[in-house]
């Protein structure tokens, strides 16, 4: 008899869109839903249900045993769930004695095997065929196993690849201790996913080093996605330390030039008289101290790839004219050379300077500016991306702990709050340096404000003071207006709980430290 509880399950399974449900007891099938026709022919035997342990079914299928009633329920359409077939076969094999072919599980094996798209074959302990499906017959799986001398007794499981008539099969084998028999299934190799050895993941990926989901940054990344594949020049603007070279490399990596060289030159770091030969190269014997063999320049080195000219604003007017010529004519001339050399280079330049002002002051060529600035990209400073700061800090803490072979440590919430408020004049570069400093000096697992460099703490204190002074209408500046408990806790969270922090808070509130302590006591804040 179907119990109330089982009825409830069935309703649930039905509602959950299980496509196949079968409920049976020792006498008959009690309920079916979406059962393939061949399943309806089952004769069920009850005696072994209780021995089944079914824990490792796919999430989409399950057999439940409730006292005298068994339920088989399957989420997917039965003939599509290949993994389920195998699990059912394994399950039934473990519970059957193959010699007794009337056993329910053996019948189930046949039913399932018949609908499978791969070859299924069972041999008993004497390697005598007990069952094979149509596919196995078709591909002559038994013959394949004998011919290829696939070992069937050495281990519990095995896997072999055999070829026949231009087709390769992967043959899986499982031995069953309960039966001493062997179960084979063969799958055409074309269906299998080759092992992808990810040696390429050892390759550097610049995209992984640009952390952030601030809307201003996303805009930049979207623009890069759009313009990477065209060959126009790009001018990257932004404050010092925002990582302009990283973005230039990203554009290169996403372009069709990705497999060609990416060459970066910092125009500010090379003395002016050397920059020309650095960029264009020189012929042998061009000047005193020159290499005898001559030298190729960065333009040639970057041929077919990308040349990144950082700090372009620091380039002399004389050299600006030469760069303009390359852009117009796509040829270079080496220092001391007379033969023009054709180059195919995409130029990405960058500067933190105000080129428009420099043009007005005649320090930068207007025509070159227009040539370089076909696609302008502006990288926002870090202080405009406060929502990204915590993730970036964690990213660099991990890096420096690894480099310095130190145990991983975690910044306190207070540290994160202070670093989020800091102005970051040196941007990402400064953040990297500060994290490196913190990781090297903090010995404990938790990074506290005590480890933060003084300039950061000082700026925070200054800022707080400034806020206080500038906001005369600040609600706390009126001495009659005391912060309530919740406000005081918020302020403490902002300033911190150390005695130094409390001193700063008292100063901020325009009260004495003693008064602050009195309030804390009154509100029972520890």
Count the Cβ atoms, other than its own, within 10 Å of residue 94: 16
**In this structure, what token pair is assigned to residue 196?**
């992808």
* Site membership for other proteins, residue 473 (CB under 8 A): no
Stretch that binds other proteins, among 199-207, 323-331, 333-341, 476-484 (CB under 8 A): 199-207
Residues in the chain: 526
The least distance separating other proteins from the CB of residue 443, rounded to whole angstroms, comes to 12
- Any bridge partners for residue 62, and if so which? 73
Question: Does residue 422 contact residue 456 with C-beta atoms inside 8 Å?
Answer: yes
Instruction: List strand residue ranges (DSSP E) for 384-443, in order.
Output: 410-411
Stretch that binds other proteins, among 26-34, 100-108, 184-192, 365-373 (CB under 8 A): 184-192
Radius of gyration of the chain (CA): 37
User: What residues between 491 and 510 interact with other proteins by CB under 8 A?
Assistant: 493
The least distance separating other proteins from the CB of residue 34, rounded to whole angstroms, comes to 17
Using CB under 8 A, pick the residue from 25, 32, 246, 448 that binds other proteins: 246
Distance between CA atoms of residues 174 and 153, nearest Å: 10
* Site membership for other proteins, residue 201 (CB under 8 A): yes
Q: How many residues bind other proteins (CB under 8 A)?
A: 63
346-351 and 234-237: which strand pairing? parallel
- Cα distances from 317 to residues 265, 280, 299, 326, 334, in angstroms, run 17, 16, 19, 15, 18
**In this structure, what token pair is assigned to residue 60?**
């989409």
Distance between CA atoms of residues 164 and 159, nearest Å: 16
**In this structure, what token pair is assigned to residue 437?**
């400093």
Count the Cβ atoms, other than its own, within 10 Å of residue 239: 17
Using CB under 8 A, pick the residue from 151, 180, 232, 391 that binds other proteins: 391
Using CB under 8 A, pick the residue from 291, 402, 467, 469 that binds other proteins: 402
* Site membership for other proteins, residue 55 (CB under 8 A): yes
Residue 46, SS3 per DSSP: coil
Using CB under 8 A, pick the residue from 41, 51, 157, 259 that binds other proteins: 157
Is residue 95 exposed (0-12), middle (13-18) or buried (19+ Cβ within 10 Å)? buried
Question: Does residue 486 contact residue 523 with C-beta atoms inside 8 Å?
Answer: no
* Site membership for other proteins, residue 151 (CB under 8 A): no
Going residue by residue from 259 to 298, which x/- string records binding to other proteins, judged by CB under 8 A?
----------------------------------------
* Site membership for other proteins, residue 466 (CB under 8 A): no
**In this structure, what token pair is assigned to residue 357?**
């002002």
| 181 vs 281, beta carbon nearer other proteins | 181
The least distance separating other proteins from the CB of residue 187, rounded to whole angstroms, comes to 6
Going residue by residue from 4 to 33, which x/- string records binding to other proteins, judged by CB under 8 A?
-----x--x--xx-----------------
Using CB under 8 A, pick the residue from 28, 203, 342, 361 that binds other proteins: 203
Stretch that binds other proteins, among 50-58, 347-355, 356-364, 434-442 (CB under 8 A): 50-58
* Site membership for other proteins, residue 215 (CB under 8 A): no
Stretch that binds other proteins, among 337-345, 361-369, 453-461, 489-497 (CB under 8 A): 489-497
**In this structure, what token pair is assigned to residue 223?**
């623009």
Using CB under 8 A, pick the residue from 119, 181, 212, 496 that binds other proteins: 212
Torsion angles phi and psi, residue 353, rounded to 5: -85, 160
Closest CA to 23 of 14, 81, 53: 14
The least distance separating other proteins from the CB of residue 211, rounded to whole angstroms, comes to 6
User: What residues between 410 and 449 interact with other proteins by CB under 8 A?
Assistant: 410, 412-413, 445-446
Question: Does residue 210 contact residue 247 with C-beta atoms inside 8 Å?
Answer: yes
Going residue by residue from 82 to 121, which x/- string records binding to other proteins, judged by CB under 8 A?
xx--xx----------------------------------
* Site membership for other proteins, residue 50 (CB under 8 A): no
Using CB under 8 A, pick the residue from 397, 419, 457, 509 that binds other proteins: 397
Distance between CA atoms of residues 500 and 98, nearest Å: 80
Distance between CA atoms of residues 31 and 475, nearest Å: 73
295-296 and 281-282: which strand pairing? antiparallel
Closest CA to 120 of 76, 82, 163: 82
The least distance separating other proteins from the CB of residue 106, rounded to whole angstroms, comes to 21
* Site membership for other proteins, residue 167 (CB under 8 A): no
Using CB under 8 A, pick the residue from 1, 37, 159, 338 that binds other proteins: 159
Stretch that binds other proteins, among 144-152, 333-341, 366-374, 390-398 (CB under 8 A): 390-398
Distance between CA atoms of residues 121 and 132, nearest Å: 4
* Site membership for other proteins, residue 409 (CB under 8 A): yes
* Site membership for other proteins, residue 519 (CB under 8 A): no
The least distance separating other proteins from the CB of residue 160, rounded to whole angstroms, comes to 11
Work out the angle at residue 300's Cα, subtended by the Cα atoms of residues 317 and 307, and round it to the nearest 5 degrees. Answer: 65
The three-state (H, E, C) secondary structure of 62-75, written as one string: EEEEECCEEEEEEC
User: What residues between 306 and 365 interact with other proteins by CB under 8 A?
Assistant: none
Residues 6+ apart with CB under 8 A from 167: 139, 188, 189, 190
Dihedral (C-alpha) 104, 110, 112, 118: value to the nearest 10 degrees?
150
Binding-site ranges for other proteins (CB under 8 A): 9, 12, 15-16, 55-59, 64, 82-83, 86-87, 157, 159, 170, 172, 185, 187, 192-198, 201-209, 211-213, 246, 249, 388, 390-391, 394-395, 397-399, 402, 407-410, 412-413, 445-446, 485-486, 489-490, 493
């Amino acid at each position: 008899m179907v119990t109330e509880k089982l009825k409830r399950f069935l309703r649930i399974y039905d509602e959950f869109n299980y496509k196949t449900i079968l409920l049976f007891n020792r006498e008959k099938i009690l309920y079916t839903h979406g059962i393939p026709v061949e399943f309806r022919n089952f004769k069920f035997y009850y005696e072994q249900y209780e021995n089944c342990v079914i824990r490792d079914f796919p999430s989409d299928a399950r057999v439940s045993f409730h006292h005298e009633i068994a339920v088989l329920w399957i989420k997917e359409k039965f003939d599509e769930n290949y993994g389920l077939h195998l699990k059912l076969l394994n399950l039934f094999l473990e519970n059957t004695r193959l010699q007794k072919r009337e056993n329910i599980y053996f019948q189930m094996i046949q039913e399932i095997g018949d609908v499978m798209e791969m070859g299924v074959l069972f041999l008993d302990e004497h390697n005598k065929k007990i069952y094979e499906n149509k596919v196995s017959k078709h591909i002559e799986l038994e013959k394949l196993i004998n011919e290829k001398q696939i070992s069937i007794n050495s281990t519990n499981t095995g896997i072999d690849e055999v070829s026949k008539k231009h087709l390769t099969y992967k043959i899986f084998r499982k031995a069953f201790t309960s039966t001493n028999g062997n179960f084979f299934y063969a799958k055409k190799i074309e269906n299998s996913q080759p092992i992808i050895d990810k040696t390429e993941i050892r390759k550097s990926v610049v995209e992984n080093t640009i952390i952030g989901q601030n809307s201003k940054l996303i805009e930049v990344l979207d623009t890069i996605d759009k313009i990477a594949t065209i060959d126009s020049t790009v001018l990257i603007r932004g404050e010092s330390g925002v990582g302009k070279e990283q973005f230039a490399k990203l554009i290169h990596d996403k372009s069709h030039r990705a497999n060609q060289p990416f060459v970066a030159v910092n125009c500010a770091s090379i003395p002016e008289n050397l920059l020309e030969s650095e960029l264009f190269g020189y012929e042998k014997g061009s000047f005193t101290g020159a290499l005898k063999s001559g030298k190729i320049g960065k333009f040639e080195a970057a041929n077919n790839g990308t040349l990144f000219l950082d700090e372009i604003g620091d380039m002399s007017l004389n050299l600006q004219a030469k760069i303009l010529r390359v852009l117009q004519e796509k040829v270079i001339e080496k220092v001391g050379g007379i033969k023009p050399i054709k180059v195919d280079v995409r130029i990405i330049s960058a500067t933190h300077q105000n080129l428009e002002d420099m043009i007005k002051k005649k320090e930068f060529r207007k025509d070159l500016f227009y040539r370089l600035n076909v696609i302008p990209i502006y990288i926002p400073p870090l202080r405009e991306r406060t929502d990204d700061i915590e993730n970036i800090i964690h990213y660099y803490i991990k890096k420096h702990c690894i480099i310095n072979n130190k145990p991983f440590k975690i910044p306190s919430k207070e540290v994160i709050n202070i670093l989020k408020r800091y102005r970051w004049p040196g941007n990402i570069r400064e953040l990297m340096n500060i994290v490196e400093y913190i990781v090297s000096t903090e010995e404990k697992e938790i990074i506290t404000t005590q480890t933060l460099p003084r300039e950061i703490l000082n700026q925070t204190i200054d800022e707080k003071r400034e806020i206080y002074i500038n906001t005369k209408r600040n609600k706390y500046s009126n001495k009659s207006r005391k912060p309530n408990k919740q406000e005081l806790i918020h302020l403490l969270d902002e300033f911190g709980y150390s005695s130094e922090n409390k001193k700063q808070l008292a100063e901020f509130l325009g009260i004495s430290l003693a008064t602050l302590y009195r309030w804390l006591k009154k509100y029972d804040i520890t």
